[in-house]
Structures are given as structure tokens and as C-alpha cells.
Homo-oligomer: A and B are copies of this chain.
Amino acid sequence: MNISDSAVEKSQRETTRLEAVSDGVFAIAITLLVLELTQILHPPNGEHIISYYIHHWEPFFAFLIGFLTILVCWINHHHVFTYIKRTDSNLPWVNGFVLLMITFTPFPTAVLAEYLGQEGNHAIAIFGFNYFMISVASYFICVYPYNRLLIDHNDREFFNCMKLTYGYSIIYTLIAFFVCFISIPVAVVLYLILFIAFAFPKELATRLYKRRQSGKIRAELHKKK
């Protein structure tokens, strides 16, 4: 093995390590969500626990939403990192922005758990703002390696499509954030669509990629005419 190979290998190992630490943060943040449940679910004296929990379903719902949010983020983060082959001094900072939003997520989840019943749209709006920030962070974690050529040349076109999906999600989550103050049901539907779309980031980016490729072919055919 020559020196250049070893340098490439070292940089790749660095990327793996960065992802491993991020995975740790995801795993911890997703597990901390339960602490909110154990803290707020003490039925006042006299009430039976099962019936109390059935009537106070909001914290369980918030727990599920928080869990799915961090799981979707993990799947997306992991998908992005399968394409990042090199690292530099700034990438840990760009990645740190994503991790900041992930470690913060238990807070809006706790707000949702406690205020969904009383101040529904405010609680959802705070969670929605978190989604907006996550979208911005996800966009940056794509833009930076794309511009600094930290991804392989062959993956460039496809990675660009991934980048675009996160770019679109910024606008989408910004609109959904304002919708929270107007109508809860519409906002919930909007976030549901967002969830489903980003649950399978590879398939989402592939769809965009294929559309752009066929668009290119059509454009070329048009030019030939």
C-alpha cells in the first residue's frame, strides 16, 4: 500500500468515526424521550393508572412522534453519509449543526407531550420550527460535501438530487410552520406527507434523479430536432 492509498483510507476512517459518534447521539436522543413519560405520568391520588393513561394519551403520542422524527433523521443522516467519502476540518462543524438539532428534539417533544391538550397549535408550531431547522441542517450537510468535492465523482449527480430534496423540504417545512397557527388538521396532514416522503430517502432521491435524467434526454432530443 502506498502513502496516497493510506491517506485516502485514513480520511475514510475519519468519516466512519464521525458517523459512529453521530449514531451515538441519535441513539441517546431517541432513548431519552422516555424520561418525559416517566416524569409527567403520575396519576393524582385515587385515579386508576390504566384509565388515567388512556385519558392522557398525548404524552404517548408525543413520544411516538419524537421517536419517528429522530428515526427518520437517522435514516436520512445515514443515507447521506454513505456518499461522503472524505472529510476535512469543517465537516465536523457542519455535522455538529445536525447533531445540535437532534439533541434538541427531546425538548419540543416534551412541549408537545405537555401542551398538546391545552395549547395545541403553539405546541405543534414549536415542533414544526424544529422540523424547519432540521431541514436547514440536512441541506447544509449535503451542500458542504457537494461543494468541497468530498463525494465520489460518480455519485455527484445523484447526491445533487438528494441535496435538492432537502432544499425543497426547507420551503415545505417553513410553509407548514405557518399553517400550524391557522389550522391544526392541515398542518398534521402536511407533516404526515413529509414523514412518508423522507422515510425512504433513497427512493425519494432516485425518483427525482430519474425525472431529471429523462428531462435531460428529452431536452437533448428536442435540441437535435
Contacts and interface: CB of A to CB of B under 8 A. Distances in A.
Interface of A: 17, 20-21, 23-38, 41-42, 48-50, 53, 63-64, 67, 71, 74-75, 78, 89, 92-93, 96, 99-100, 103-107, 110-111, 114-115, 119, 122-123, 125-126, 199-200, 202-203
A125 B119 CA distance: 32
Given A21-B74, A24-B28, A37-B107, A202 B49 contact: no
B21 A27 contact: yes
A38 B106 contact: yes
A32 B30 contact: no
Contacts of A96: 71
B17 A23 contact: yes
Given A30-B103, A119-B48, A23 B21 contact: yes
A88 to B, nearest CB: 10
Nearest to A74: B21
B103 A50 contact: no
B20 A23 contact: yes
A196 B120 CA distance: 40
Contacts of A26: 21
A130 to B, nearest CB: 12
A123 B43 CA distance: 13
Nearest to A107: B37
Contacts of A74: 21, 92
Given A49-B123, A71-B92, 16 more contacts: A20-B20, A20-B23, A21-B23, A24-B27, A24-B28, A27-B28, A34-B105, A37-B107, A38-B106, A38-B110, A41-B111, A48-B119, A49-B115, A49-B119, A71-B96, A89-B200
Contacts of A114: 42
A48 B42 CA distance: 24
Contact of A104 (B23, B42, B63, B103): B63
A93 B200 CA distance: 10
Nearest to A114: B42
A108 B23 CA distance: 26
A187 B202 CA distance: 46
